[in-house]
Amino acid sequence: MIIVKGGVTAPKGFLANGIKAGIKESGNADLALLYSELPAVAAGAFTTNRFEASPVKVSKRHLDNKIHQAVIVNSGNANCANGKTGIADALAMAELAAKAIGLDAREVLVASTGIIGKKLPIEKVETAIPSLTSGLSSARGSAFAGAIMTTDTVKKELAVKVKLGNTLITIGGACKGVGMLYPEMKTAKHATMLSFITTDAVISKKMLESSLEEAIKETFNMVSVDGDMSTNDTCFVLANGACGNKAIVKKDKDYVKFTGALKFLAGELAKSLARDGEGATKFVEIEVAGAKTRDDAAKIARKISTSSLLKCAIFGSDPNWGRICAAAGSSGVNFDPDKVDVYLGGVKALSNGSIAQSYSKEKARPFFKKKTVLIKFDLKSGKASAKAWTCDFSKEYVAINSEYST
Amino acid sequence: MIIVKGGVTAPKGFLANGIKAGIKESGNADLALLYSELPAVAAGAFTTNRFEASPVKVSKRHLDNKIHQAVIVNSGNANCANGKTGIADALAMAELAAKAIGLDAREVLVASTGIIGKKLPIEKVETAIPSLTSGLSSARGSAFAGAIMTTDTVKKELAVKVKLGNTLITIGGACKGVGMLYPEMKTAKHATMLSFITTDAVISKKMLESSLEEAIKETFNMVSVDGDMSTNDTCFVLANGACGNKAIVKKDKDYVKFTGALKFLAGELAKSLARDGEGATKFVEIEVAGAKTRDDAAKIARKISTSSLLKCAIFGSDPNWGRICAAAGSSGVNFDPDKVDVYLGGVKALSNGSIAQSYSKEKARPFFKKKTVLIKFDLKSGKASAKAWTCDFSKEYVAINSEYST
């Protein structure tokens, strides 16, 4: 597997665009379109929030269709808590895009991100559609990645190539965060993390769903910025088969290779979300090892990753590892604290549940000053492990989020 | 029931003291002692964190004793993750106090609060004991409340009187917060919220435990500052019977009255913790109504109260109520979002799951500018309700917690 340039338009047969439609008060780009020249199979994963945004509801229904060729996305407005009007507007987005490209509306998927509880200005979308569709190009993947951003400071895109049989297939992706970020998505025929993945591999819808499910569990569902789950989290994968590899229709060697590449791509995109988390000055990776089950390890890693206290300590380069223990201990997982080892970077802080003899704050501080902070929590009670990613908690996070809707 | 002056020494027969022992680098008071002149029955509730601090372990064992007469507390050091030395030090605190007053060590309860993973300087406690015990006085309740503080900016104490039969009994209390505050305590014979309650009522140990259990559920266990559960949360109630009321030995009218007064006192103390939350500029009350069960209502209220995003919005006086919905929707409680009404102060923001016609941000903003922000989330699906309390999330919180252990 190799990393190549580009994002959602790196695979063959995908065009994209991103433009300014006037939804955002800032005047930044806010409307994006992804188009597959060939009919594609699609799989989606969505937020498990009880308050589901309208585009989530519409896309879940549209995913019942066998094929899909487009995804329309707006930023600057979540189209959530807008009642029937919200549903109508989400549907209208799909219909407007479909009509302009010559598709059935059910072949179009929809996603939104931005403020909750404000009517989507659908008339602005309508006005922008001609310019959006006419500008579709394989060179505009990066414009797509730009137009889906909200508080993101950098575009997040990536593409990889992997060989299936004798065919080199490509997987590309773009995603945005970077607040209200604690996805717990589930795949459903029927997360505000938005993630769009494309591939030119030939794969059945069923296998694509299964591959996505495997991938998000260890990637997007393990990243957090603030522990606040969005009403809009969404991840779509479109596979258009343009590469002509031997079709993946069962969990064979090619499936495993494809899923490995998808997991790598999704993992890198997920980490890029944490790196660009609102107000973030540092990236944090938490590894929980020695657990009885992967679920136990994941629960503990996720709990540590959402500790406001730990994240403030990391902001201040203060190796206050007691907060790691307190967070892990409140995860609901039953473990023996007297067996636990904790490492800060390369420094052992906790050994069998009490301060390591060799530990000193002076040794640990340099590792907390780095741009990437690595924390390892070893339960020494089994063989399962999991990693979670987050960022530090800065005054800037508070600044960004104290005046978001004004 | 009436509120009276004082705290833990307001009930008859209780003496207290708080002094500087040199545990805190700041040089502030850090060692406190509570003493009942009569043998008292005691009940306790403790953190459910898997990482239990040493004083929690020791106090759980000591609670097996039938009677108790003293509680010794230090601030500035949590005595957690200190292994066998930690246990020995917590036990030594009890033993030193017991010896100086003439009690059995098992009649003494212990609590600690402060940094995790630092050895408790037991020699400083030992040196301070003579001064601590010789200064015990009914006039030193407030000194006790002062010496248990960490990042608290104000002392938190309260006392109430209630009539049982013809006898006026008194309940007094003191507590401290105000970070790593998200107690989920359980009573156990066997939260760093520390709370100490005294009463001169005659009540059996069993009834006292039951009364405490009822009280903490709706009070201390519904307050949060940051959603980080401590390794040290502890609540003790000592009842010394000095008032001579007809003994409460079953769940009769007097039990109900006593529990009502205890709940009121604990509720006010809990709210005072949120009001003085680290960096707090505002107090927030979240009421969830119309739920099928009290547990559902409590879960949703707790989840809303820990939303970093909502708390930042309240800091900025930004009525970004979408964050209330997003938090509620991720509580794990199954409810119909299309039935939900949300009120910000007196202003209806959400009606049946979508923006209220009458809502405008200009109407809501004044209620978000107040020192007390009231949020109501009505599920309209049942008769159960619950209240949770928190504070806003300020840049000062980040400042306090980015350099705590240095």
- At B390, which CATH number? 3.10.20.340
- CA B360 to chain CA centroid, nearest Å: 37
Domain boundary among A252, A275, A298: A275
**What token pair was written down for B138?**
């009914």
B17 lies in the same domain as B42: yes
Q: How confident is the model at residue B54 (pLDDT cuts 50, 70, 90)?
A: very high
> What does the pLDDT look like over A287-342, one tens digit per residue?
999 999 999 999 999 999 999 999 999 999 999 999 999 999 999 999 999 999 99
Give the count of Cβ contacts less than 8 A between chain A and B: 238
Domain final position from B246, B275, B304: B275
Contact B179 A330 (CB under 8 A): no
Say whether both A262 and A291 belong to one domain. Answer: no
- Tell me the pLDDT of chain A averaged across its residues: 94
The string of pLDDT tens digits covering residues A13-38 is 999 999 999 999 999 999 999 999 99
Between residues A155 and B346, the one the model is more confident about: A155
The answer to whether the CB atoms of A330 and B84 lie below 8 A apart is: no
Rounded to 5 degrees, what are φ and ψ at B141? Answer: -60, -40
Residue A189 has pLDDT above 50, yes or no: no
> Which residues of chain B are within 8 Å of residue A85 when distances are taken between CB atoms?
354
Which pLDDT value is given to residue B404? 66
Tell if the CB–CB gap between A337 and B361 is shorter than 8 Å: no
Tell me if A68 sits within 8 A of A97, measured CB to CB. no
Q: Which two tokens stand for residue A253?
A: 């060697």
**pLDDT value at residue B189:** 46
Q: How confident is the model at residue A351, as a pLDDT?
A: 95
Percent helix, strand and coil across chain A, each to the nearest 5 = 35, 30, 35
Query: Mean pLDDT in chain B?
Result: 94
CB-based contact A105:A95 (threshold 8 Å): yes
Give the model confidence (pLDDT) of A338-357 as tens digits: 999 999 998 999 999 999 99
Q: Which token pair is A66?
A: 């066998």
In this prediction, residues B14-27 reach a mean pLDDT of 97
Q: What is the pTM of this model?
A: 0.89
CATH number at residue B34: 3.60.70.12
Query: Integer distance in angstroms from the first to the last C-alpha of chain A?
Result: 45
Q: Are residues B246 and B142 in the same domain?
A: yes
Last residue of a domain, one of B275, B302, B318: B275
**Of A403 and B368, which is predicted with more confidence?**
B368
Same-domain check for residues A220 and A310: no
Looking at residue A405, its pLDDT comes to: 63
Q: Which residues does B65 contact at the CB level (< 8 Å), separation at least 6? A: B104, B106, B107
Residue B353 sits in the same domain as residue B375: yes
Q: B182 lies in which domain range? A: 2-275
pLDDT at B177: 86
Q: Specify whether B307 is located in the same domain as B332.
A: yes
Per-residue pLDDT, A193: 86
Q: B310 and B230 in one domain?
A: no
Token readout for A321 is: 């590892």
> How confident is the model over A103-109, as a mean pLDDT?
97
DSSP secondary structure letter of residue A319: -
Indicate if the pLDDT at residue A400 is higher than 80. yes
Beta-strand relationship, A14-19 and A31-46 = antiparallel
Residue A75 has pLDDT above 50, yes or no: yes
Query: What does the alpha-carbon distance between residue B227 and residue B403 come to, in Å, rounded to a whole number?
Result: 19
Tell me what pLDDT residue A226 has: 87
Q: Is the pLDDT of residue B169 over 90?
A: yes
> Mind telling me how many Å the CA of A348 is from chain B's nearest CA?
13
Quote the CA–CA distance of A52 and A59 in Å, as a whole number: 11
Interface of B with A in 1-30 (CB under 8 A): none
Does B350 lie in the same domain as B202? no
Same domain, B339 and B363: yes
Restricting to B residues 170-189, those with a Cβ less than 8 Å away from any Cβ of A are 179-180, 182, 184
Banded pLDDT at B187 (limits 50, 70, 90): low
pLDDT in tens, B321-343: 999 999 999 999 999 999 999 99
C-alpha span between B54 and B75 (Å, rounded):
14
Residue B381 predicted with pLDDT over 60? yes
Does residue A258 share a domain with residue A287? no
Q: Specify whether the CB–CB gap between A355 and B78 falls below 8 A.
A: no
B288: exposed, middle or buried (C-beta count within 10 Å: 0-12, 13-18, 19+)? buried
Predicted pLDDT of residue B191 = 45
Tell me how far CA of residue A76 lies from CA of A26, A121, A244, B350, B353, in angstroms: 9, 10, 38, 20, 20
Nearest to A399 among B333, B395, B400 (CB): B395
Which of B315, B361, B401 lies nearest to residue A313, judging by beta carbons? B401
Chain A interface, mutation test: which of B323, B379, B402, most A Cβ atoms within 10 Å? B402
pLDDT digits (tens, 9 = 90+) for A173-184: 999 987 777 777
Check whether residue B261 and residue B322 sit in a common domain: no
Q: Total domain count for chain B?
A: 2
Q: Residues B11, B240: contact at Cβ < 8 Å?
A: yes
Contact B330 A48 (CB under 8 A): yes
Pairwise CB contact (< 8 Å): A349 & B84: no
Nearest neighbour of B322 by CB, restricted to A117, A350, A354: A117
Closest partner residue to A320 (CB to CB) among B48, B400, B404 is: B404
Residues B242 and B321 in one domain: no
Provide the pLDDT for residue A185: 77
